[in-house]
Chains A and B, each alone.
Chain A
């Protein structure tokens, strides 16, 4: 059974930093693209970033480029999102997600989500 479990969220001040983690199990971690998707309170879903199997390709939504860094550790079966220079508009529930069905261009598996609140 595929499991994705996020951790590391919480309250952070504007301009501060936070690192989210996602522990993965139940699938071959080393052969999977992985994603972060976020949802601001009462709002819709927004794709944030993804990373390829080797960690050599990384893509970001424009609003986080230069501030967030996605990474992975295959030895620990873990995905990370380093969030720097956070802003109020980064307040959201952050989900790690992966594809795996058909073309792979959908999010078949999701973590439970982890709330990040940016506030002074």
Chain B
């Protein structure tokens, strides 16, 4: 069981927007502004798309945005494109036994 909870799968049509939630606790998401999001295509390494809750690395599309409220973080993808179809993982720094925890991942299908 992952420390952070994400929906296993989501789906939406091209051009639409979708939000993926990531729920933790006051020991991780709620306690630090160190939430990050990763995109992973099959057989590839994860790619950082959001860091420190809301920031995008250089080169990442502005269609990706991140927010946080209390113990829940969210990744929103607007103007969905076929290339966005991938697995998405959230992560947070934590005061637990390991410094980082990940969510179980969300498979995004662009219909």
Contacts and interface: CB of A to CB of B under 8 A. Distances in A.
Contacts of A54: none
A102 interface: yes
Interface centre among A61, A62, A95, A103 (most CB of B within 10 A): A103
B9 to A, nearest CB: 13
A91 B103 CA distance: 19
Given A101-B57, A113-B45, A106 B36 contact: yes
Nearest to B97: A62
A102 B52 contact: yes
Interface residues of A, number: 20
Contacts of B67: none
B45 A110 contact: yes
A112 B45 contact: yes
19 contacts: A45-B38, A47-B99, A47-B100, A47-B101, A59-B98, A62-B97, A95-B45, A95-B46, A102-B52, A103-B33, A103-B51, A105-B36, A106-B36, A106-B48, A106-B51, A107-B36, A110-B47, A112-B45, A113-B45
Interface of A: 44-47, 50, 59, 61-62, 95, 101-103, 105-108, 110-113
Which 10 pairs across A and B sit closest by C-beta, in order of nearness?
Answer: A106-B36, A105-B34, A106-B51, A47-B100, A110-B45, A102-B52, A45-B102, A105-B93, A44-B105, A44-B104
